[in-house]
Amino acid sequence: MRRRRFLKLAMAGAALPVLPRIASAATDYPTRPVRLIVGFPAGSGTDITARLLGQWLSGPLGQQFIVDNRPGAATNIATEAVVRSPPDGYTLLMATLPNAVNVSLYPDLNFNYLRDMVPVAGIDLVPNVMEVNPQLPVKTVTEFIAYAKANPGKINMASNGNGSASHIAGELFRMMTGVTMVHVPYRGSFLPDLIDGRVQVVFSSLPTSIEMIRAGKLHALGVTGAKRTDALPDVPTVGETVAGYEAVGWIGVGAPKNTPADVVDKLNTNINAALADPNIKGKLAELGAAVTPMTPAAFGKFVADETTKWAGVVKFAGIKPD
């Protein structure tokens, strides 16, 4: 009995030095540079956001945050690179709306975003804007719906490509209003054709076309967020006419599955501190974005809800990847 008691005490004593190391994996994190993987090219809104965030985080966390652009395949290349990385907090994904859409748009992916990634933090929401060529005889969303129903098949809707944010925003509008629009996907800019009237409407990202709206070359019918935006304070939301309509781009941060919870929490705390900085808020506002800090759990629920929502739109419109 004495021998067994001694062995138990010895084993417990041997385990004691290990416990603090397990319980405080984030104490010294990070001890080397951290990569922020971006699924878009340099100069994109997500890239700019990543660089603003990385520069800020390098201060309190004492390590460089390196932006690594991996554009292509609707962000799937970047996402898979993070999914396959060690779950240690040193490779993070700038998660975006396509991550929610791609779950249903690409049924044969080598990964499942909801299963293989853990949510770290929300960053911002970016509304689109429903805009038309000024020659179209409509000034409001209500007038557009009436005109489209009276002229079926005569409204060409531009987008950035099948399954893009501009495409699914338009398809959600079509699903909720019953209007008929002909989808015209573009690989380059659709703005010249929209301005010239070859296409009539687009649900564009706000930063892409706000200067054209301000110059009177395009007419904004409504913004697609839940609230009006300070960038276009006189433009109503589409939801003020089509109850429940909302289609926003968003950016957050994700990490590989099994990343230690205390590392995730440390990142979340510091990211939320960055979003509280008036300088960061102001610079994101210049991109048409509203900072939206979230806990890991809240961001995870948000992405899951977005995945369910857009799966219904993809099915309704029969969207296939380019």
Q: How many Cβ atoms sit within 10 Å of the Cβ of residue 184?
A: 17
Nearest to 99 by CA among 39, 49, 185, 50: 39
* Secondary structure (3-state) at 281: helix
Distance from C-alpha of 210 to C-alpha of 139, rounded to nearest angstrom: 17
Torsion of CA 319, 107, 117, 101, to 10 degrees: 10
Q: Whole-prediction pTM value?
A: 0.87
Q: How many Cβ atoms sit within 10 Å of the Cβ of residue 62?
A: 10
* Secondary structure (3-state) at 6: helix
Phi, psi of 73 (to 5 degrees): 55, 40
- Is 8's pLDDT higher than 50? no
Distance from C-alpha of 72 to C-alpha of 236, rounded to nearest angstrom: 34
DSSP H or E run through 250: strand 248-256
Distance from C-alpha of 186 to C-alpha of 165, rounded to nearest angstrom: 13
pLDDT of residue 16: 47
What digits encode the pLDDT tens for the residues 185-198?
998 899 999 999 99
* Secondary structure (3-state) at 55: helix
What pLDDT band is residue 7 in, cutting at 50, 70 and 90?
A: very low
242, with CB counted inside 10 A (0-12, 13-18, 19+), is middle
* Secondary structure (3-state) at 36: strand
What digits encode the pLDDT tens for the residues 14-53?
444 544 444 456 689 999 999 999 999 998 889 999 999 9
Give the chain's domains with CATH numbers: 33-125+249-317 (3.40.190.150), 127-240 (3.40.190.10)
Distance from C-alpha of 258 to C-alpha of 104, rounded to nearest angstrom: 24
What digits encode the pLDDT tens for the residues 74-88?
999 999 999 999 999
For every residue of 160-225, which 3-state class applies, written as one string? CCCCCHHHHHHHHHHHHHCCCCEEEECCCCCHHHHHHCCCCEEEEEHHHHHHHHHCCCCEEEEECC
Residue owning tokens 């080397």: 32
pLDDT of residue 25: 61
Distance from C-alpha of 118 to C-alpha of 83, rounded to nearest angstrom: 10
Nearest to 231 by CA among 203, 249, 207: 207
DSSP 236: P
What digits encode the pLDDT tens for the residues 87-109?
999 999 999 999 999 999 998 99
